[in-house]
Structures are given as structure tokens and as C-alpha cells.
Amino acid sequence: MSTNFKNQVNAVGAISVGVVAAFFAYDLTRNRDALPCSMYYKVATEMSLTRKGGAVLTPAELEARVGVGEQNVQAKAQVVSGPDQSSPYVLSVTVGGNVSADTGASFFWSPGGAGHPVSACLSYDFQLPQTFDFARGGRLPGLFGGTFSGLTSPNPKSMGMRLTWDERGQAGLEGITAAAGPDKPDYDASLRYSSPVEIPRGRWVHVEQEVSMNTPGEDNGVLRVWIDGQLRLQATNIAWRPDDTVAIGGVWADIGYQSYGGTERQARAQSEIKVSPPRLALH
């Protein structure tokens, strides 16, 4: 028996949406033995959360380290003790609370000396509290490429995607592609997909995400997501880019509740989302 993921193509914010010819058609039985991308991307770089000497970064130091494009890092994120020796320190991001405030934190991270990579494997662990309110949905880290600066600022040289959850706690993806052409002249095509896979609460969850760029002019780009070692989302016909000048840039660490018009509209108790340092392998 197979299960097909529901495919939705929606606008993000006020973006005008073009037609996207990328569909999730994921057969759970056929793909159950697919290996997580960390098994074949052997060399990865992990973002450091400590200073030279081993002391953890303060919120101000963390903000300075991630640099241009960050949002709310000093106000909402801090480095705290992790679950074990493999993750001695993790990020704790404050979400919820004041309904008029921006939610969560966001930043971009790129390892140095990456060159012009056309494929990437991102891995990290996250934990939602046992009583966590899924509310109207939320967002977790993903990957970006080109001159990407967010879903509301698309341009023909940018692409990005992030893991999401909806009001039921079910995992999904949203992003934009940079690809343009005679049938996609507006380039700001938004991708949004949902699934029946519910995100666990009260424990650490392992995520791996793979993106492989398409051959320019062809719809053969790849996107895969594994949750706790199981392939849960897959697409193999995405036009990520219009030409070979667009390469993978790094990690889009976007963590928090979904916002609407820049702020939350539904009050909820303040909570914390914990995320281990992202590990990124590039080819």
C-alpha cells in the first residue's frame, strides 16, 4: 500500500505565485529503505556555539557571529546545555508570549570555503516541550541558495526552503524557487507541501534534509527530508534555479511560530524550542 502526500502550491505573504511543476509523489513502501543523506555525504561542518577556549557564546556574541540577515537572535535565542556529549550545547529559542511581538529567531549560516556547491545535506535535532502548542503552525531550519533573503523577498537568483508544521502538528515544507523561463516568467513561484506525519513532542527529533540543484533548463532538482531516519518527504522534479550561477549558500535557521504580517495574531503561553547546532555537508 502506498501513501501520496497532499501537494499544495500557495502564496507566501503577498508574493505573486507562478505555476510550479514540482509535485510530491512519495511512495512509503518503495522508498522505505532510502538512506539518510548523512550516510553518503561523509564530510560535514558543524556550527560552533562556543568561543575559543570552550565558553558558550552569549546572545550578543551569537548575534555577532551569525551576522547580516539575522532577526531576533539576541532577544530570543541563547546557548544552553544539550542532551548528551554528542550535543553538549544547543540553541534555545523563545516563542509565544506577547501577541504583538515578532516570534522566534532567524539567521543564515554558511561554512567558509564552500566554493560553488550544487547539493547539500543538512542535519540537526530539535525538541518541542511535551505540552507545546502547535498553534497556527511554525517553522524549523532549512537550506538556501543564491541571494536568498527570505520568502517575502524573492528574486531570480534565490531559492530557499524550510521545514514547517501546521496547526495539527503535521510536518511540511515551504519555500521558493529561483527558476525562470517562458512558462515561469515571474520566478517568484512558492512551494508549500503538507504531509500526514505528526511532529513528536517531548523528545529529541532527528532531521536530515537534502537539496540537489537541477540542471539549468531542466526540472530535475531533488528535495528529500528524513525524520528520525525515515524518508518522509521527497520530490525529484524541482527547478530550483534558472542557470548555474545559483549555488547552495548554506543553512536558513528559521525557528518559531508562523507569523502573519510580521507578528503573531494568536496569544499563547511562552515556550522554548531547542535546536542542536546545524551540520552541513556540501558537494
Kindly report the average pLDDT of the chain as a whole number.
Answer: 82
Residue spans of the domains in the chain: they are: 7-282
**What mean pLDDT do residues 136-140 have?**
92
* pLDDT score recorded for residue 103: 75
| pTM of this structure | 0.85
* pLDDT score recorded for residue 22: 33
Domain boundaries 7-282, corresponding CATH code? 2.60.120.200
3-state secondary structure the chain: CCCCCCEECCCCCCCCCCCCCCCCCCCCCCCCCCCCHHHCCCCCEECCCECCCCCECCHHHHHHHHCCCCECHHHHEEEEEEEECCEEEEEEEEEEECCCCCCCEEEEECCCCCCCCCEEEEEEEEECCCCCCCCCCEEEEEEEEECCCCCCCCCCCEEEEEEEECCCCEEEEEEECCCCECCECCCCCEEEEEEEEECCCCCEEEEEEEEECCCCCCCCEEEEEEECCEEEEEEEEECCCCCCCCCEEEEEEEEEECCECCECCCCEEEEEEEECCCEEEEC
* pLDDT score recorded for residue 266: 60
* pLDDT score recorded for residue 171: 96
Most trustworthy range by pLDDT among 10-24, 90-104, 203-217: 203-217
